[in-house]
């Protein structure tokens, strides 16, 4: 497996680990029979964790597809790996700023992550001009 493929898995874990600790720490008030009960997410930190989790779910498919497309089209693997690793680091920072209630920095990090994703997605288009 490539580093980029491990990054796809890390991105998935980040989505899951964004919400799991909040549910675990709120075990006394969390009802697994109603996991999406809005009253559990009234706490500001829980609400931010839920928002970061949902955004991760929205971002994951595009990232996974972009990595697989770039690899399938035989783009330079080292570049795919570097961009994928950078994406995961930016997403980790994004989650931390979301939980830390830093909306401006969070939005900047979201934009950086999106640009990285676009770059990975369009690597096949630029492949002929990239070093091998």
Answer yes or no: are the C-beta atoms of 38 and 31 closer than 8 Å.
no
What is the count of structural domains for the chain? Answer: 1
- pLDDT (tens digit, 9 = 90+) per residue, 85-104? 999 999 999 999 999 999 99
Its domain, for residue 113, covers: 3-129
Q: Which two tokens stand for residue 16?
A: 């899951």
**125 CB contacts (<8 Å, ≥6 apart)?**
none
- pLDDT (tens digit, 9 = 90+) per residue, 17-62? 999 888 787 767 777 787 778 888 888 999 999 999 999 999 999 9
Q: What is the CATH number of the domain that holds 94?
A: 1.20.120.550
Q: Which of 57, 29, 53, 25 is nearest to 42 (CA)?
A: 29
H or E stretch including 23?
helix 3-25
């Amino acid at each position: 497996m490539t580093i980029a493929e491990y990054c796809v898995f890390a991105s998935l874990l980040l989505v899951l680990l964004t919400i799991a600790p909040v549910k675990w720490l709120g075990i006394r008030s969390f009802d697994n029979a109603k996991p999406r009960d809005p009253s559990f997410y009234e706490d500001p930190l829980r609400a931010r964790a839920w928002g970061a989790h949902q955004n991760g779910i929205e971002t994951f498919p595009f990232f996974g597809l972009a990595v697989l497309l770039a690899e399938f089209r035989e783009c330079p693997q080292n570049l795919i790996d570097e961009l994928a690793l950078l994406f995961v680091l930016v997403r980790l920072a994004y989650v931390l700023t979301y939980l830390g209630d830093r909306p401006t920095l969070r939005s900047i990090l979201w934009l950086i992550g999106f640009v990285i994703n676009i770059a990975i997605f369009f690597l096949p288009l630029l492949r002929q001009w990239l070093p091998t």
